Structure 1
Amino acid sequence: MALDEFLADRGRATTTFLQHAMETYLPAATAERRRTHDAELLADSLAGHDHHHEIPIFVCNLAFPTLPCPLHVFEPRYRLMVRRCMESGTREFGMCLPNETSTGGFVDIGVMLEIRDLRYFPDGRCVVDTIGSRRFRCLEKGQRDGYATARVEFLTDQTVPPEGMQELQTLHDSVHAQVERWWTEHFRGQLEKRDRVIQFYGPMPAVETSYWTLPSGPSWLWWALAILPLRRSVQLDILSIASLKRRLRVIGSVLNRLAQPPANPA
């Protein structure tokens, strides 16, 4: 079997002679290692279930809920992290932007990435197809075997009261239309650039039914945030907002500024 097939299969054949020798001559050490492994696997499977169980953190880039985030994993520490995510069955880890001035070397706000597909190369590298899901805020940061970890709280949007529903829907439809106009006008005559955006993030998502009940609101808003010409720090601030109405207003304000003609030099 080729190495890439072996790694992708995740199967582990036991060498009967070695196992029997260890259990015979090193019974205490073998039992202790088995207990340690089982405890680690259990802890990995509970990652993110509550504030007490840490999640693994991939310190690399800014991810967004519902959007794809393909990764090329080559560093040994992250290869180990991905392997543990697969073996524990969670198939997910956190993604945060690096920041040397922040505790642990990365920002406090991040997004969980769910592993949809995984392809290994013969040298052990892998390409991981992931998609963003829950947003989180780090409560406490740590490290495990070279990669970062964190205890987190997950961010969900505030519930919209019935009396505010009409205002929210009107605002939503207005900003959605602004994004569609900007997308058409900004990429007019830039078909290659537009195609690259679609290839990476996909086309603009359709509006979900009852989008106001989703933990992170409608997908199209994250799609817009990912492609708008904004600094990473601004995108990160918007990512941390737990109010759909506030995010819509901020994106609408950004689009209003982008629609203004450049000032004539004096």
Structure 2
Amino acid sequence: MCRRVLALPPSISSHPSNKTLANLLDAFCPEAVSARRDTVHAEELGAQGELSTPLFVCTLGFPQQPTFLRIFEPRYRLMLRRALESTGEFGMLMYNRYNEPQGDLGPVNFYGIGTMLRIIRSQTLPDGTSLIETVGTDRFRVTAHGVLDGYVVGSTEPIHDVTLAEEERIEAEETARPPPADPTDINSQIERMPTVELLWLCQEFVRRMQARSANWLQQRVLDIHGQPPNDARVFPYWFASVLPISEEEKYKLLDTRTVRARLKVTATWIRRIESQRWV
């Protein structure tokens, strides 16, 4: 027997079995057939209990932004099939290449905050590889984790923004602070800016870069991510999706609890780029 992997299209599951072959297998290999049925049943169930969220350790995803993936490893193909047959969602986590400790999780191989991705389209190729289009929904924090059939599963808790009233209180407090003693102190300047000015600063930077035909704002990029949004809640995630900076910098957005905090992060990126003091 060659043991070659046989790629079967998903549509084959709806085809009827050959009754003669099925009867022969049941007669001559009852133990193997029974064991295989149990295995298939377990695969269909997937993760249960507290560690019920499938987690894909790969890259960053952001709420309301598209993420395109090519799934080829057998463990993640299984994870994808289970996700498609259940909620249609899975968690995306960024790979922790520097082994930074993640709170109570310790030095795990992933960052502890991620984004839930909802599967929009899935195409399975003849070799079993899947091309999927997803969109980010909610942010989450991993509270516990384990491994199921080779991929990570976990228990998660959602990350929500503060109320609008609390956001307005924070803005009023920060904008009322006295001007910094050092006029070149970028961080202090950004801290005192109203939220609407932070958004304008970011949008104006994008407009200038578009006028200069920046590579990261070419039409093919905008076809995927859309034009710069006017919604302050969405803009930071859009900006992080297109701006060519380190993933570790972009990750800072995921642990914020206010729109204002995310705009301050993106404004800081811009000021560093403009002053050529990026670190």
Q: TM-score, normalised by structure 1?
A: 0.75
**Residue 205 of structure 1 pairs with residue 229 of structure 2:** yes
Contact 1:172-1:248 within 8 A present in 2 as well: yes
1:83 matched to 2:81: yes
Structure 1 residues 203 and 79: CA distance shift in structure 2, 3 A: same
Aligned residues: 244
Counterpart of 1:13, as a letter, is P
What is the alpha-carbon root mean square deviation over aligned residues?
3.4
Task: Report the 3-state secondary structure (helix = DSSP H, G, I; strand = E; otherwise coil) of the residue aligned with 1:123.
Answer: coil
User: What residue number does 1:11 align with?
Assistant: 14
Can you give the 5+ residue segments of structure 2 that lack an aligned partner in the other structure?
Answer: 1-5, 101-106, 173-192
How far did 1:243 drift?
2.4
Q: Give 1:20 shift.
A: 5.5
Over 3 Å counting, the alpha-carbon distance change for 1:56 and 1:13 in structure 2 is farther
Report the residue type matching 2:234 in the other structure. S
CA-to-aligned-CA distance 1:114-170 (integer Å, 9 cap, x gap):
1100111111111101111111111112111111111111111111227827948x9
Structure 2 counterpart SS, 1:105: coil
Alignment partner, residue 227 of structure 1: 242
Displacement after TM superposition at 1:60 (Å) = 1.2
Structure 1 gaps, min length 5: 212-217
**How much has 1:65 moved relative to structure 2?**
0.8
Q: Aligned letter for 1:11?
A: S
1:107 aligns with 2:130: no
Aligned to 1:150: 154
1:124 equivalent in alignment to 2:139: no
The AA in structure 1 aligned to 2:88 is R
Aligned position for 1:214: none
Question: Aligned AA for 2:270?
Answer: L
Query: Deviations for 1:169-222, whole angstroms, at most 9, x for unmatched residues?
Result: x93322221122111112323265422421332222342xxx7xxxxxx22220
C-alpha contact (below 8 Å) 2:7/2:126 kept by paired residues: yes
Q: Percent identity?
A: 29
Q: 1:194 to 1:252 in 2, by over 3 A?
A: closer
Could you tell me whether the CA contact under 8 Å between 2:46 and 2:82 is conserved in 1?
A: no
Match of 2:90 in 1: 93
Give the Cα–Cα distance (whole angstroms) in 1 for the partners of residues 209 and 248 of structure 2. Answer: 22
| Equivalent residue number for residue 211 of structure 2 | 188
Render the CA deviation track for 1:97-119: whole Å, top value 9, x for unaligned.
11252544211111111110011
Partners of 2:145 and 2:270 in 1: CA distance: 36
Q: Distance in 2 between matches of 1:28 and 1:121?
A: 33
| 1:202-260 Cα distance to aligned partner (Å, 9 max, x none) | 222342xxx7xxxxxx2222001223343222211221112222222222333333344
* Separation of aligned partners in 1, 2:96 and 2:170: 40
Which of structures 1 and 2 has the bigger CA Rg?
A: 2
Q: What letter corresponds to residue 198 of structure 2 in structure 1?
A: V
TM-score, normalised via structure 2 length: 0.72
Between 129-138 and 95-104, report the one with greater CA deviation: 95-104
* Contact 1:8-1:120 at 8 Å conserved across structures: no
Which of 65, 68, 71 is 2:66 aligned to? 68
Q: Give the C-alpha shift of residue 82 in structure 1.
A: 0.7
